[in-house]
């Protein structure tokens, strides 16, 4: 049971290890893009490619007969996105386990990867737990840490942790089926939460310390994305770096030098814009942007709050 690439990587790992997957549950198809075309989840794409039955309930807590009828020995969830009802938790003889992309009990919830980067964490990891009716509170079966590199984004860390989750699951399953496991209860006093991102959090204000701004942007790249507003237009940041230094420019001021065509002033440094997507245009590198409209925007300031917000 899962939805994004994280879950698809886990599913492919199970299939490559010749585990018998009797069914896949994933979120309903979504309309995307300007043409609002239906898009399958990554998990559904893998399932279809391998001829596996797919079930996409609007609300699994009200519609789960498909799973019961499959008589699974074990249910594995991985970034599914819905709470699992007790009827399913009690269904399989080996229980229900979840691969969660954080070092539980820290960062319980739906956006642990993004928020760990946004908060400037130095490491993340994967926890495999028994599922309960409460969010990410089950006993830990296996847990491993992974460092967060200074240039990691939401996208790159997602890939690293999905590979780690796959490998950990394949390591755990033989012991789970053999009964050779030693669950460890979580310390709820150490819990923190990574709630789903809000739309307004995609807006970037540059009047904070440069490292915090940099972490905020890279924690959103490239999905759902991060943007600023300059002269009333939206500019989506596609790749950035940062430079800590003393400077006198007001935060949010667009600047340029011979080494970096597009810089944005923050407190204590600059965001180095490497790739950007101006509103209504295609993504481009910073040199192309500067040679187009960028040179005329040097000295202008990005807005410090969302327009009309």
- Greater confidence (39 vs 118) lies with 118
Residue 306 banded pLDDT, cuts 50, 70, 90? low
Q: Please answer whether residues 270 and 259 qualify as being in contact, where contact means their C-beta atoms are separated by less than 8 angstroms.
A: no
What proportion of the chain, given as a percentage, has pLDDT over 70?
98
Instruction: Kindly state the percentage of the chain with pLDDT values over 90.
Output: 87
For residues 283 and 273, give the distance between their C-alpha atoms in angstroms, rounded to a whole number. Answer: 12
| Model pTM score | 0.92
Would you list the DSSP string of the chain?
Answer: -B-SHHHHHHHHHHHHTT-----EE-PPPEEETTTTEEE--HHHHHHHHTT--EE--S-TTT--HHHHHH--S-EEEES--SPPPHHHHTSSTT-EEEEESS-TTTTBSS-HHHHHHHTT-SEEEEEEEE--SSTT-SPEEEEEEEE--TT--HHHHHHHHHHHHHHHHHHHHHHHHHT----B---GGG--B-PPPPGGGGB---SSBHHHHHHHHHTTTTTT-EEEEETTEEEEEEEEEEEE----SPTTBEE--SS-S-EEEEBTEEEEEEEEEETTS--EEHHHHHHTTGGGTTT-BB-SS-TT-
Which pLDDT tens digit goes with each residue over 20-46? 999 999 999 887 766 777 788 899 999
Among 275, 264, 257, 220, which Cα is nearest to 242's? 264
> Quick one: three-class SS letters along 181-219?
CCCECCCHHHCCECCCCCHHHHECCCCCEHHHHHHHHHC
268: pLDDT confidence band, cut at 50, 70 and 90? very high
């Amino acid at each position: 049971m899962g939805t994004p690439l994280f879950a698809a990587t886990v599913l492919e790992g199970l299939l490559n290890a010749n585990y018998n997957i009797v069914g896949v549950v994933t979120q309903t198809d979504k309309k995307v893009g300007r043409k609002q075309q239906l898009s399958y989840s990554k998990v559904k794409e893998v399932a279809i490619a391998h001829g596996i039955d797919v079930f996409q309930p609007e609300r699994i807590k009200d519609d789960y007969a498909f799973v019961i009828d499959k008589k699974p020995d074990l249910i594995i969830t991985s970034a599914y996105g819905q709470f699992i009802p007790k009827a399913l938790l009690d269904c399989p003889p080996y229980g229900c386990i979840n691969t969660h992309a954080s070092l539980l009990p820290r960062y319980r919830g739906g956006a642990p990867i993004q928020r760990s980067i946004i908060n400037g964490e130095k490491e993340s990891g994967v926890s495999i737990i028994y599922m309960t009716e409460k969010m990410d509170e089950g006993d830990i079966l296996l847990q491993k840490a992974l460092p967060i590199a200074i240039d990691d984004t939401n996208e790159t860390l997602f890939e690293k942790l999905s590979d780690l989750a796959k490998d950990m699951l394949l390591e755990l399953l033989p012991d789970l089926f053999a009964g050779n496991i030693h669950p460890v209860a979580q310390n709820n006093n150490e819990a923190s939460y990574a709630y789903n991102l809000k739309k307004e959090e995609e807006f970037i204000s540059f009047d904070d310390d440069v490292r915090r701004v940099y972490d905020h942007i890279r924690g959103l790249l490239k999905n759902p994305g991060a943007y600023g507003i300059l002269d009333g237009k939206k500019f989506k940041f596609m790749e950035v770096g940062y430079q800590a230094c003393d400077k006198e420019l007001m935060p949010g001021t667009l600047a340029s030098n011979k080494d970096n065509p597009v810089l944005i002033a923050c407190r204590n440094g600059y965001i180095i814009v490497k790739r950007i997507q101006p509103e209504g245009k295609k993504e481009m590198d910073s040199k192309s942007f500067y040679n187009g409209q960028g040179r005329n925007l040097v000295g202008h300031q990005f807005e410090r709050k969302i327009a009309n917000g």
